[in-house]
Chains A and B, each alone.
Chain A
Amino acid sequence: MPLLVRLLVQRIALGLLLLFLVSILIFAGTIILPGDVAQSILGQSATPEALANLRRELGLNDPPVTRYFHWLGGVLQGDLGTALTSGQDIATAIGKRLGNTLFLAFWAALISVPLAILLGLIAVRYRERWPDKVISAVTLASISVPEFLIAYVAIFFFSVRLRWAPSVTTINDSMTLGEKLHTISIPVAVLTVVVLAHMMRMTRAAILNVMQSAYIETAELKGMRMFNIIWKHAFPNSVAPIVNVVMLNMAYLVVGVVVIEVVFTYPGMGQYLVDHVSKRDIPVVQACGLIFAAVYIGLNMIADIVSIISNPRLRHPK
C-alpha cells in the first residue's frame, strides 16, 4: 500500500477510535452527574413507587456498561433516544437545529477564512510596516474582547441605532435565502470578527516562516513581485499549519457558537444544548456532546488529511 494511503487510513482509523473513546467519556460524565433523572422528571413530590417505575422504564437500574452499549447501539443506527422532558425524538429535533447551526457557521466561515488568509498575506507583504501593524492591532483587539460584548455592541449599533438587521435572529423554512441571510447578518459578522485574529496571525506566522527559504530568494531573483512570491511560492508551502488553524476555528464556529446563539436567540444546537442542560435532560446532553465531539474530531481529521496530502513528498513518492 502506498505510504500516502497508509497514512490516510491510519489517520481516519485514529479519528474513529478517538470518537469512540469520547463517547465513553460523555456517557461516563453524564452518569456521574449528581442528582437523579427520574427525580428531576417527576419533581420533588413524586412517590417512591412512581420513581421506581420510571427508573425501570428508563433502564436506569441496569449496570452502566449495559446502558452504554444499549445507547451506543442506538446511536450507530441513528437513534439518539427520546428527550425525557418533551418525549420528542432527539434525532429529529437535533437535525433541524444542527442544520441551522451549520448554516450560520457556513456563512461565517465563508467570509472569515478567505478574509483571514488575505489579511495574513497582506500583513506579510507589508511586514513591520503600518498595514501589518494595523491588521495585527485590530484583530488582536477584537479577539481580546469577550464575544458577547461584541455581540451586544453590534446589536446596539447595527440593529437598534441603524436598524440594518434584526437582533432576534429567528429563521424558519418559509424564508427565502436572501431573507435568511439578512436575518443572520449580525451574528455572522460577530463570529467573523471573533475567529479572524487567530487564523490571520497563524497565516502570517506560517508564511513568514517560509519566507526565509532559499526558494523565496530564487523567486525574487526571477524578478517576481513580492505579492506574487508570497501567493505562489510561500503560501503553497504553508498550507498545512494554516489548514490546521482554519479547521480549529471552523470547529469553534459549530461548537463554540453557544454564546452567540443565546445572545441572538438563534434556534441552533447551542441553545438547544443550554436549554436541556438546565432541564437535566441527559439523553439530549449526551447526543449534543457526541455531535460536537464528532464535528471537532472530524474537522481536525480533515486538517490532518489536508496536511498529509499537501506534502509533495508524500503525494509524489520517489
Chain B
Amino acid sequence: MNGLAPASRISKTSRFPAHPIAGLAGTSFKHEHLHAILGDGPKDGFFEVHAENYMGAGGPPHDALASIRRDYPVSLHGVCMSIGGPRPLDKAHLGRFKALVDRYEPALVSEHLAWSTHDTTYYNDLLPLPYTPATVSRVADHIDEMQETIGRPILLENPSTYVLFAESTMSETDFIGALVQRTGCGLLLDVNNVFVSATNHGYSALSYLADFPLAHVGEIHLAGHAEQADDEGDLLLIDSHDGPVADAVWKLFDIVIGRCGPLPTLIEWDSNIPDWPVLKAEAAAAQAILDNHADIHHVFGKAHAAG
C-alpha cells in the first residue's frame, strides 16, 4: 500500500474493496446463512441480494449486507422496478435503488423484463408483457431512466412465462435484442427461465439461445423449477426457485458457457432454503463448469486471463 492518494486524484471515495466478480459462481444471500458464511464461506464467490430487502432505513439487514460486502463481490438484483409495465417508474423506488447502488457499490446491477405494480397495487410477482414495437419503446424509456438515475448500465433478465399475448408481434429474443440496441443495457441470462418458457410454450431452448444476444450477457442465473400441468394436461414448468438446478438446465448452462466463456453465475434458491453447505455445493458445481471452460478458453486463446 502506498498510503492515501492525493485528494485531487480520487474521483469517489470507496467504502468497500473492489472485489472482482469475473468468472465466479455465487449464491443468493439469505440471512439465515450469515453466520455459516462468515465461518465457512467460499474462498472465491459472490452473493446476490434482492434490492428491496435492503430498502429499510437501518438495522440488521444493512449490517449483514455490509459484512458480506466487505468480504465478497455483491450483485444487486431488483425485483420490482416494473420496467415492463405501462406506467411511469416509481420515482421514490428509483431513488431508493440509487441509494443502495451508491452505498454498496455492487459489482453487478440487474432487473427483470417484467412488471409487478399497477395503479396503486403491488402484486409481488413478475408479470408478463406483450412484445410489440410500442412496448419496446416504453420499456426502453424505463431502462434509460433507470440507467440514468443510477449512473451505470443494468443487466436485464429474460423472464419465465406461462402465457402468451395475442397482440405480440415480436419474439422474446427479438424484443430483448431491440432493448439492448436502444438502451445499451447488458443482459442477465436466466438459463432456468429459458428452459421453463421453452417447455411451457413448446419451442426449443437451444433455438432460443441461438437467437439470444449472447454477446451482451454479463451474468447467468440458475435455479430449480417445479412441475405442474396445463389445461390440456401437458407439462407446465413453474419457476419456483425451491430446489436444486435440473440436469437439463445444467446441460444448457454448459453450452452457454462454452459459447460465452466463464460469466458470473448465480444459484438462486429462494424458498425451501437449504442449509448453507447444500447451497455452497451447488455453487461449487457451477464453478467447476466455469473453471473447465476458463481452461479451454485459455488454451485456445479465446479469452485472456487478465481483465
Q: Do A and B come from one complex?
A: no
